A and B are shown apart, each in its own frame.
Chain A
């Protein structure tokens, strides 16, 4: 679409007039006039034509109306691919909208749409509503100057700038939903926040509904349990009543009482029969006892007679036995006497054998004592010898001087002498002579040995036979003198030591030491032998010999030709055996005699006892002449008693056979009684149950729990339905939120990319390598990148912000043009903040865009916009017809 002409009738300052702007070019068209010329009126009227419905009566329309009133009319000639059209709108009075097709220079007009259809035609032409993309191509609000003179003017300019940016944002908003989307989203969020928490948990009415449902369910469960209990109590009471009814049935009660009565009667009969039976049994027992008594009397009589006869026989037998026993006892006395005589003989022989053996033993002990004496005497002699030897050796050793210590001292003194001599020899001159003849030299009067080094004193005088005397003097007299002195002392010490032992030389001293050692050894040896001979000491040995002497003295001399001791011992054993046998025979005979005497005494006692028995039996039996008569009487009594017993037994048997089972009768009676008692107990229990159940039923009935249960069920149902409805509401709101977020995000993504692509070359006209970033929330330009630096948009100068806002619009316009929807860009005093150099660059950007885009520029800055170029039509004003 391209604008070709504009006409305003009765609009603001053009009251009663028509202002026309024709000759609008394809590219840039500049309407640069002074203030109050009517540029903004043209701008507003044109905006209203496209974006205010003819039926509108709002402020934006009313602002077009002149003070004189009247209808406001605006028209525009627009060129589209379909041809040239005129769009007309009249507001406020005689409202109208028309679209006319123009055929060449507006000569022929054809109305193609009216009113609402005209509005739809127009909407289709510009794409969408006022908030849509087309709207962003309108940049309004002219400015008086670059530098505001007053605070109010500065504020107004700031507001203007904000408007400018906001309008950009508004256009972007239109695509992404913008502030309206924000409000809708906020409403959605508010609605959701009323129902769920941020993590998505129920809150508010939804939570209330869920809580209500949960609480009601819990309460309902309790109440239903109470209802169940109530039903149980009702059933329990009904059952108790049924049972009570059965228990109280008169027929059943009569049956129970009749059963008890019959059982009692049967029990009474049974007990009477039992009494009779017991009495019959007692009678039978008495008869049995009486028969027993008769039988016992008869038996007693028979037994008495029998015992008498037996006693008589026993007495005779006892008398015979006693006589025989007396004879046997006499024979035993004789046998005992014979045995005693044999024992005396044996004892005499034993004494003889024992005496012979004792004598032989004494002789043997005497011989042994003599042998001991001899041996002990020899030992004692040997021991005495050894003792003397020991004592002698010890005495010598005790007086000896040449002890090992003394010998050590002698050896030390000898060594000292040797050392002194050696030292003296070392210091002294010596002389060695080799004799060649028999003549011998004398030294200090002694012959000087040949071929031997002889030490010399400090002054040595040699007698040299045949030669004279040779005196030698050593030069070191003092040293030799000291050594000589030492030697002398050593020799004196040695000599003193040797003198203690009477030894002349150390060798003699050592010999004395040797002797001392030998004495000591001998003493030890003698001591050892003494110990061996008399281990317990000499005194003990001497005591043993004395004891042996005493024993030897106490025994006689051994008789030659004695019987050997063994034989004597054998004879003694034989005598002992004989004595023992005799003694045993005597014991046996004595025992036999005692037994015989005892038997005789016993038999005598038996005879006496038999006599007494016989006497008693005879006494018991009484007169023998009455025996038979008494026995016959007893037999008759027995027969009578036995007959009575038989009769009694028969009666007992008959009663026993007819006797009822008392236990059974008692059980019947007990059962019948218990049945009645049980009924009474059960009745009491049932009455109690009934009472208890009734109390509980009434307590629950007073609480109207069933009514409450039904009410709770309803309320629960309502709460659950409410919760479900609110859950659905939450789902719907969440779905709406998701849809809004998704589409807004998609719209932004789809929108910003192409816009930035279009914007970048335009931006580079002003700033090389510049790029613009948009804030995704505010949708406003957020930052300008130039090279490596990035500046927040609100820190940019007003001019730069203004330029970016206009360039953004140009970018939008190019985007629409590329999409086949070229729309004119209308700028109303847009570049009020731009300096001269920037405004030229902006002109370049506008010119670049204008190559494919119609741009209509309204400006009061005639001088500044001279360089913009483009068409320059003139507004023509004429009075309305």
Chain B
């Protein structure tokens, strides 16, 4: 019987440049802290072995600080054995990285840099498929078919996209066949590259990243606790959440009869998590100008709740009826300007940019007019 924690894609040192400085610092810190969280998850699950299926580091040459802090965190978890596989971000071409890791790693950190069977534990053999290049262009797990492991459990460890995906996480073409585990007689194939947790088959899983780095994946980030009783026994896979920062993208659709305030409240994350949440609000539908202004004010009121916040109202169409325009003025030049902009915003014969400008102009007009009663 073997029990281990399957994790991948820590992407330590990822800079998150599109985010403000304070958010960047939090995100980077959270990724580094995923190491003790993984160790804790392993301990909690009774595992003393963590397989990192690639992309532990975000760059080929991370800063010495990132490397040292990561190794220190692993060294700190001395009761855990870490097996680190090169992914496409930290592939074997990152010679300096792997050289440094080889020189500085503690004894509980093992680098698997050769595609050769590696005794993993009593009765279990690891078949690592380290990435040789950023885009190897070939199936690095092909050698599993002929790998001699005797009567031991065969555990595959690889990084890359399977054929069932259109592309990998970074847009690379899929290479690993989805039936690799069955084809090569694997008891479990631990995959990395896909940042969301995903089951490809009964014995093939993507663990996903222990800490999210985008809004793409809905599932809560974490690792997989894997237990295999013995040869021929099915792998018991248990997702273990590890994420500390929530990446929440919500779509808010406004329409007739939808009050902006309550609708926004309904999609807002709970207060307790907001300071650790990156909240991306995508607003769609159509709204009266007053409602739009109300929504904007409501959003502005809560925006500082979050670690980072963005509201995209470009998908929110405008509804302009007499009441809306009356809010500006019953008649006169302001009313005429509003009517002209409203007509322009809904004139499909105009280019999209012109319509958008007119709509935004009208929104400004509403704001100004309502504030300048």
Contacts of B19 in A (CB 8 A): 714, 718
* Residue B15 at the chain A interface, CB threshold 8 Å: yes
Contact-residue size bin, chain B (C-beta under 8 Å from the other chain): 35 or more
* Smallest CB separation, B13 vs chain A (Å): 5
* Smallest CB separation, B32 vs chain A (Å): 13
Contacts of B336 in A (CB 8 A): 743, 746-747
* CB <8 Å contact, A129 and B357: no
* CB <8 Å contact, B95 and A234: yes
* CB <8 Å contact, B17 and A718: yes
* CB <8 Å contact, A736 and B365: yes
* Smallest CB separation, A641 vs chain B (Å): 82
Query: Contacts A234-B96, A744-B333 given: A717-B340 contact, CB under 8 Å?
Result: no
Q: Which one of B13, B24, B364 has the greatest number of beta carbons of chain A within 10 Å?
A: B364
Which of B57-65, B78-86, B193-201 interfaces with chain A?
A: B57-65
Smallest Cβ-Cβ distance to A714: which chain B residue = B17
* Smallest CB separation, B69 vs chain A (Å): 12
Which of these, B63, B93, B330, B337, contacts A707 with CB under 8 Å?
B63
* Residue A98 at the chain B interface, CB threshold 8 Å: no
Smallest Cβ-Cβ distance to B365: which chain A residue = A736
* Residue B14 at the chain A interface, CB threshold 8 Å: yes
Bound-state CA distance A712–B24 (Å) is 12
* CB <8 Å contact, B332 and A702: no
* CB <8 Å contact, A181 and B13: no
Q: Which one of B62, B353, B359, B360 has the greatest number of beta carbons of chain A within 10 Å?
A: B360
* CB <8 Å contact, A175 and B331: yes
* Residue A731 at the chain B interface, CB threshold 8 Å: yes
For residues 682 through 729 of chain A, which have their beta carbon under 8 Å from a beta carbon of chain B? 694, 697-698, 700-708, 710-718, 721, 728-729
* Residue A128 at the chain B interface, CB threshold 8 Å: yes
* CB <8 Å contact, A175 and B365: no
* Residue B116 at the chain A interface, CB threshold 8 Å: no
For residues 1 through 58 of chain B, which have their beta carbon under 8 Å from a beta carbon of chain A? 13-19, 24, 58
* Residue A187 at the chain B interface, CB threshold 8 Å: yes
* CB <8 Å contact, B93 and A234: yes
* CB <8 Å contact, B17 and A184: no
Which of these, B58, B64, B96, contacts A710 with CB under 8 Å?
B58
Which of these, A704, A718, A729, A743, contacts B66 with CB under 8 Å?
A704
Query: Contacts A706-B60, A710-B14, A728-B360 given: A701-B96 contact, CB under 8 Å?
Result: yes
* Residue B111 at the chain A interface, CB threshold 8 Å: no
* Smallest CB separation, B300 vs chain A (Å): 15
For residues 350 through 373 of chain B, which have their beta carbon under 8 Å from a beta carbon of chain A? 353, 356-365, 368-369, 371-373
* Smallest CB separation, B297 vs chain A (Å): 16
* Smallest CB separation, A774 vs chain B (Å): 15
* CB <8 Å contact, B58 and A707: yes
* CB <8 Å contact, A710 and B95: no
Bound-state CA distance A477–B353 (Å) is 152
Which of these, A176, A718, A733, contacts B332 with CB under 8 Å?
A176
* CB <8 Å contact, B330 and A234: no
Q: Which one of A713, A716, A743 has the greatest number of beta carbons of chain B within 10 Å?
A: A743
Query: Contacts A180-B369, A191-B364 given: A735-B358 contact, CB under 8 Å?
Result: yes
* Smallest CB separation, A778 vs chain B (Å): 15
* CB <8 Å contact, B16 and A714: yes
* Smallest CB separation, A88 vs chain B (Å): 23
* CB <8 Å contact, B66 and A707: yes
Smallest Cβ-Cβ distance to A187: which chain B residue = B368
Q: Which one of B59, B65, B361, B371 has the greatest number of beta carbons of chain A within 10 Å?
A: B361
For residues 85 through 113 of chain B, which have their beta carbon under 8 Å from a beta carbon of chain A? 93-97, 100
Contacts of A231 in B (CB 8 A): 60
* Residue A517 at the chain B interface, CB threshold 8 Å: no
Smallest Cβ-Cβ distance to B362: which chain A residue = A736
For residues 22 through 65 of chain A, which have their beta carbon under 8 Å from a beta carbon of chain B? none
Contact-residue size bin, chain A (C-beta under 8 Å from the other chain): 35 or more
Bound-state CA distance A743–B340 (Å) is 9
Which of these, A174, A238, A694, A728, contacts B93 with CB under 8 Å?
A238
Which of these, A129, A184, A707, contacts B62 with CB under 8 Å?
A707
* Residue B341 at the chain A interface, CB threshold 8 Å: yes
Q: Which one of B353, B356, B372 has the greatest number of beta carbons of chain A within 10 Å?
A: B372
* Residue B329 at the chain A interface, CB threshold 8 Å: yes
* CB <8 Å contact, B18 and A714: yes
Q: Which one of B59, B97, B373 has the greatest number of beta carbons of chain A within 10 Å?
A: B59
Contacts of B357 in A (CB 8 A): 728, 731-732, 735
For residues 303 through 348 of chain B, which have their beta carbon under 8 Å from a beta carbon of chain A? 329-334, 336-337, 340-341
* CB <8 Å contact, B63 and A732: no
Q: Which one of A188, A708, A718, A735 has the greatest number of beta carbons of chain B within 10 Å?
A: A735
* Smallest CB separation, A209 vs chain B (Å): 13
Smallest Cβ-Cβ distance to A701: which chain B residue = B61
* Residue A66 at the chain B interface, CB threshold 8 Å: no
Smallest Cβ-Cβ distance to A725: which chain B residue = B314
* Smallest CB separation, A317 vs chain B (Å): 109
* Residue A660 at the chain B interface, CB threshold 8 Å: no
Which of these, B58, B334, B360, B364, contacts A180 with CB under 8 Å?
B334
Bound-state CA distance A598–B356 (Å) is 142
* CB <8 Å contact, A230 and B18: no
* Residue A183 at the chain B interface, CB threshold 8 Å: yes
* Smallest CB separation, B313 vs chain A (Å): 11
* Smallest CB separation, B20 vs chain A (Å): 8
Query: Contacts A128-B330, A707-B13 given: A743-B59 contact, CB under 8 Å?
Result: no
For residues 174 through 202 of chain A, which have their beta carbon under 8 Å from a beta carbon of chain B? 174-178, 180-181, 183-184, 187-188, 191
Smallest Cβ-Cβ distance to A173: which chain B residue = B332
* Residue A739 at the chain B interface, CB threshold 8 Å: yes
* Residue A292 at the chain B interface, CB threshold 8 Å: no
Contacts of A234 in B (CB 8 A): 60, 93-96
* CB <8 Å contact, B18 and A732: no
Contacts of A183 in B (CB 8 A): 368, 372
Bound-state CA distance A714–B60 (Å) is 18
* Smallest CB separation, A728 vs chain B (Å): 7
* Residue A841 at the chain B interface, CB threshold 8 Å: no
Which of these, B63, B332, B359, contacts A178 with CB under 8 Å?
B332
Contacts of A187 in B (CB 8 A): 368, 371-372
* CB <8 Å contact, A704 and B13: yes
Bound-state CA distance A702–B63 (Å) is 6
Query: Contacts A129-B330, A187-B372, A747-B333 given: A735-B361 contact, CB under 8 Å?
Result: yes
What mask results when residues 233 to 257 of chain A are scored 1 for a CB within 8 Å of chain B, else 0? 0100110000000000000000000
* Smallest CB separation, A58 vs chain B (Å): 13
* Residue A70 at the chain B interface, CB threshold 8 Å: no
* Smallest CB separation, B289 vs chain A (Å): 13
* Smallest CB separation, A717 vs chain B (Å): 5
Contacts of A158 in B (CB 8 A): none
Which of these, A698, A712, A718, A733, contacts B361 with CB under 8 Å?
A733
* CB <8 Å contact, A184 and B18: no
Contacts of B337 in A (CB 8 A): 177, 736, 739-740, 742-744
* Residue A761 at the chain B interface, CB threshold 8 Å: no
Bound-state CA distance A234–B65 (Å) is 20
Bound-state CA distance A743–B17 (Å) is 44
Query: Contacts A129-B330, A183-B372, A716-B17 given: A706-B62 contact, CB under 8 Å?
Result: yes
Smallest Cβ-Cβ distance to B334: which chain A residue = A177
Which of these, A132, A237, A711, contacts B330 with CB under 8 Å?
A132
* Smallest CB separation, A230 vs chain B (Å): 6
Contacts of B353 in A (CB 8 A): 731
* Smallest CB separation, A718 vs chain B (Å): 4
* CB <8 Å contact, B331 and A732: no
Contacts of A702 in B (CB 8 A): 63-64
8 contacts between A and B (CB under 8 A): A132-B331, A177-B329, A704-B63, A707-B15, A715-B18, A717-B18, A732-B358, A736-B365
Closest 8 A-B residue pairs measured CB to CB?
Answer: A714-B17, A704-B63, A711-B15, A732-B360, A177-B333, A706-B59, A736-B361, A743-B336
Q: A704-B64, A721-B18 are in contact. List 11 more A-B contacts (CB 8 A).
A: A128-B331, A187-B368, A187-B371, A697-B95, A731-B353, A732-B356, A736-B341, A739-B337, A740-B337, A742-B337, A747-B336
